[in-house]
């Protein structure tokens, strides 16, 4: 089976694993958030790995960098939504910090990838 370029990126793998964690975490949210934070967090987390995969298909470094920037922005959106979710009591401190622990190295890798694409 052919392996696509994005599948070779460690940062894509990390983003995919974060998205899966976010999806599992959403099961503890109240059903009233189905169209609110649950939807937003799921879309933002999926957007990180989706933008990396889409960007990998672009032919110029400038285009690739644009999609990596979008992935980074989605990671910031996830952090913001996790903060709000924790402050509203939808997730406990442990779950919040576990997600933050996964996001920090991911954002570092996204920055490194973006810097390499810009040079």
- Highest CATH level, class, for 34-118: mainly alpha
- What residues does each domain of the chain span? 34-118
pLDDT of residue 22: 97
pTM confidence score: 0.95
* Residues 22-63: tens digit of each pLDDT: 999 998 899 999 999 999 999 999 999 999 999 999 999 999
In angstroms, the CA 69 to CA 91 distance is 28
Closest among 66, 75, 62, 58 to 12, alpha carbons compared: 75
């Amino acid at each position: 089976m052919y392996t696509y370029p994005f599948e070779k990126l460690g940062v894509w793998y990390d983003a995919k694993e974060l998205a899966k964690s976010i999806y599992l975490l959403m099961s503890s949210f109240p059903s009233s958030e189905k169209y609110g934070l649950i939807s937003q967090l799921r879309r933002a987390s999926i957007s990180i790995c989706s933008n990396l995969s889409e960007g990998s298909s672009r032919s110029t470094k400038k285009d690739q960098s644009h999609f990596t920037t979008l992935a980074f922005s989605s990671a910031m959106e996830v952090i913001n939504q996790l903060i709000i979710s924790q402050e509203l009591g939808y997730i406990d401190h442990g779950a919040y910090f576990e997600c933050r622990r996964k996001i920090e190295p991911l954002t570092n890798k996204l920055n490194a990838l973006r810097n390499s694409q810009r040079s």
